Every structure is written in structure tokens, then in C-alpha cells.
């Protein structure tokens, strides 16, 4: 048995890009409409998108921003988190989660995750709480909701703010409640690989009106509320600088895409469920850990389909396996390498791989396969064939 890595023909002729977005004609037309209107920056389409997203998530307030990272950062500032504070963060997440804490002036306190769900647990949070803890950031890994019905009461008992990182979890729900409507605030991503795509973009939903107003103010240089209207057809309006803010506002060009992506979310989710089930059936007899079953009462957003390789059954590392799929013209991803294993966090906070055994174990084995509403059945067939082909080659 030979694979493309050894100069055999690859499974696919053309490369299957990991995370390629589903873009339809309606959003292309809407972006063109924005260009022709001359209103390219933050304007009426952003306001409309915020209102639609607030309704979809059943939240009280929604503020659109240029990224989920900005949403996390500005929400922490609105919550009063700063120097001297600690924020509990799972090690198994993207660096933006921890970086936003650092940019707010606080210290991220990392905790391990459950090996099956890859999410932080109430027990790990409880063990990390100190007198300096101000907040906790549950990350809904791969689209699987954390146990928010336990985390929120635990946080309340300790007087902690809860800010959810739902970059993977727009469609998710926890025990009958929509993610985005459960805690103090929830931050979403509309990056190019996400379930809802605006190219770059993010949103914060919150129950606190004052938080929403402060995030909106900080996102546009610290200007007074409604400053984006100062050049509208209603006539010029003066603005005031209320704080030394940032440049984190969403543009109408981005919102133009979101206006049409949002109504299709459930249709796209259904397609990803179909692909998910095909993968589960196809890989059931391979030496891998399949994604854990979805808990009754939860809705999994199916953002990432992640295999955990049984390295004891293989003659290769995860990286070699990934490279072999690349040679077969199948794009893959790694979500994620635990933050405690990265030089900055390891050296700055004195961390070791043994401090987070589950996150370390996952980091060495995790491999994300293409999962998108854009995939045709033939694409899915190719992924399945390539995975089996590489397993046959490297299996002990």
C-alpha cells in the first residue's frame, strides 16, 4: 500500500481547502449594493444585522465588532476587569481567548479540560478560584456547549462574571437555552472559517445595557453614542470623546454578508450534521476517538469535526498523518495546541505540560477534517477515502 506521500496518485486532483466558506449570490449582491451606496463603514446594515442577531440568540443587546477577539477584550473592559484581576480560561482554546484577558490588563489562569468534550468543567473552575478571580470564560469547543447550567450558578456563588467564548457555537444551545442568552455576555466570531461568515467580524450579546453601550463606545475611538450617524443624510452631528477607545467597529461591507448568512444558519447546520454522521459511520472501525455524543438537551453547533488519533496503533505522529492527508489533497486543521504548550504562556506563567494532562493529550492527537455546508457528497467521499488510505498505510 502506497500513499501520495510516497509518490502514489493522490485521492483528489484538486486541493480541498479546509474551512472554505459557503458564499451565495445574495451576499455578493448585498456587498455590491453597499459599494454602490457609498456607505461602506459602520452604518444602517450593521444596525440591522445587530437587531437580527439579537433576535436569533434571544439576547437583550447585541453589538457588532470587527472580530471575536475585540468582543472579548472590550466586554472585559465593560465588565470592569483589569490589572490585579484573574480570569479563568481553558488551556484548550485559541490564543485570542487568553490574549484578550492580557490586553485588559488581567492575568489568565489556565485550567484543564475534559478529555472527551474538550471543554472546561465546573470542577476545574472551582479549583482555580482565588480571592483575585474576577471572571470565567467558558469556551464552547468545536461548537459543543459547556455545562452552563452548572457553571453560571457556580460563578454566581463566587461573585464571578461569566463571559462565554462562542466563536465556534453560533447555533448551539444548552439544556433548552440559546447560547448568547445565558450568561453576562457571549462573544461570537464571523471569521472566514466560521459557521456564519463576514470575512472578519464578531458580535457580543449581553443582558447588561450599560455593557453594550460601553462596548459600542470603546469600539469606535471612545466617541459618544451614535457617532456613526454624524455624516448621515440626517445632517451633521457633533460627537464627544468619552474615553481613549479603540478601532473595532464592524463595517456595512461585513454586515452585508451577515444579513444573508444568518437566515441560512439552520440549513447549513443540517448539512453539517449529515456530513458528521457520514464521518462517524465511516471511521467507527478505525483506531481513533470519535467526537463524544451530544448531551441530551444540548444543541451542538457542529463547527469542527475532530478526530483524536490512537497514536499507539500508528507508526506516525499526528503531524505526519496530517501531512499525508495534505499530500492526498485534503486540507485539515489542528484545534488546538494547548496554550500551556506555547512559549509565551509557558514561560510567562511558568507552565508545564504535566499541569494540564488532558489538554496535553488532546494537543498531541487532535486533527480536524473538512466540515462545511459547501462540501459536495463527492468531497466527503474523498475525505473518507483519504483518511482510510492513510490509516491503512500507517497502521501498526
Locate the domains of the chain by residue range.
4-20+265-394, 25-263
pLDDT classification of 224: cutoffs 50, 70, 90: confident
Residue 274's alpha-carbon distances to 133, 219, 299, 378, in angstroms, are 42, 39, 15, 13
Indicate the helix (H) or strand (E) that contains 32.
Answer: helix 25-37
Query: How much is the pLDDT for 1?
Result: 61
Per residue in 189-213, pLDDT (tens digit) is 999 999 999 999 999 999 999 999 9
> What CA–CA distance (Å, rounded) separates 300 from 325?
26
pLDDT tens figures, 80-102: 999 999 999 999 999 999 999 99
List the one residue out of 175, 174, 206, 161 whose CA is nearest residue 188: 206
Average of per-residue pLDDT values in the chain? 96
Mean pLDDT of 375-390: 98
Q: Please state which CATH number belongs to domain 25-263.
A: 3.40.640.10
pLDDT (mean) for 383-396: 97
Rounded distance between C-alpha atoms, residue 74 and residue 66, angstroms: 12
Under DSSP, the state recorded for 311 is G
Active site residue ranges:
194
Q: What is the CATH number of domain 4-20+265-394?
A: 3.90.1150.10
> What element of type H or E holds 73?
helix 68-78
DSSP 8-class letter at 112: -
Q: How far apart are the first and last CA of the chain?
A: 13
In tens, the pLDDT along 150-178 reads 999 999 999 999 999 999 999 999 999 99
pLDDT of 6 reads: 73
For residues 332 and 226, the answer to whether their CB atoms sit within 8 Å is: no
- Please give the model's pTM, rounded to 2 decimal places: 0.96
pLDDT single digits (tens) 32-57? 999 999 889 999 999 999 999 999 99
Q: What is the DSSP string of 127-179?
A: HH--TTEEEE--B-GGGPPP-HHHHHHHHHHTT-EEEEE-TT-TT-EETTEET
Amino acid at each position: 500500500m502506497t500513499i501520495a506521500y510516497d509518490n502514489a496518485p493522490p485521492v483528489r486532483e484538486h486541493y480541498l481547502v479546509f474551512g472554505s466558506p459557503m458564499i451565495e449570490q445574495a451576499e455578493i449582491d448585498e456587498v455590491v449594493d453597499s459599494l454602490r451606496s457609498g456607505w461602506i463603514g459602520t452604518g444602517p446594515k450593521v444596525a440591522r444585522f445587530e437587531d437580527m442577531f439579537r433576535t436569533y440568540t434571544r439576547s437583550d443587546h447585541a453589538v457588532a465588532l470587527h472580530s471575536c477577539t475585540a468582543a472579548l477584550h472590550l466586554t472585559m473592559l465593560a465588565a470592569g476587569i483589569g490589572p490585579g484581576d484573574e480570569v479563568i480560561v481553558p488551556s484548550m482554546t485559541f490564543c485570542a481567548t487568553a490574549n484578550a484577558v492580557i490586553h485588559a490588563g488581567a492575568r489568565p489562569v489556565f485550567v484543564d479540560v475534559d478529555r472527551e468534550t474538550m471543554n472546561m468543567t465546573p470542577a476545574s473552575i472551582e479549583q482555580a478560584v482565588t480571592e483575585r478571580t474576577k471572571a470565567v470564560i467558558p469556551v464552547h469547543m468545536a461548537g459543543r456547549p459547556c455545562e452552563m447550567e452548572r457553571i453560571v450558578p457556580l460563578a454566581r456563588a463566587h461573585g464571578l462574571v461569566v463571559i462565554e467564548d462562542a466563536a465556534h457555537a453560533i447555533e448551539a444551545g444548552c439544556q433548552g437555552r440559546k447560547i448568547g442568552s445565558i450568561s453576562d455576555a457571549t462573544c461570537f466570531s464571523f471569521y472566514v472559517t466560521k459557521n456564519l461568515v463576514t470575512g472578519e467580524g464578531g458580535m457580543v450579546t449581553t443582558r447588561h445595557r450599560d455593557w453594550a453601550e460601553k462596548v459600542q463606545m470603546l469600539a469606535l475611538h471612545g466617541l459618544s453614542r451614535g457617532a456613526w450617524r454624524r455624516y448621515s443624510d440626517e445632517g451633521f452631528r457633533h460627537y464627544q470623546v468619552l474615553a481613549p477607545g479603540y478601532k473595532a467597529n464592524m463595517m456595512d461591507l461585513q454586515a452585508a454578508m451577515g444579513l444573508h448568512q444568518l437566515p441560512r444558519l439552520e440549513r447549513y447546520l443540517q448539512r453539517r450534521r449529515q456530513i458528521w454522521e457520514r464521518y462517524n459511520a465511516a471511521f467507527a472501525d478505525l483506531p481513533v476517538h470519535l467526537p463524544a455524543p451530544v448531551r441530551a438537551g444540548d444543541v451542538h453547533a457542529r463547527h469542527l469535526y475532530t478526530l483524536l488519533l490512537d497514536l499507539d496503533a500508528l507508526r506516525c505522529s499526528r503531524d505526519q498523518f496530517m501531512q499525508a492527508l495534505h499530500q492526498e489533497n485534503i486540507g485539515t486543521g489542528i484545534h488546538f495546541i494547548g496554550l500551556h504548550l506555547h512559549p509565551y504562556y509557558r514561560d510567562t506563567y511558568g507552565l508545564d505540560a504535566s499541569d494540564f494532562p488532558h489538554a496535553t493529550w488532546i494537543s498531541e492527537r487532535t486533527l480536524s477534517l473538512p466540515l462545511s455546508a459547501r462540501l459536495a457528497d463527492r468531497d466527503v467521499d474523498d475525505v473518507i477515502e483519504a483518511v482510510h488510505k492513510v490509516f491503512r498505510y500507517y497502521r501498526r
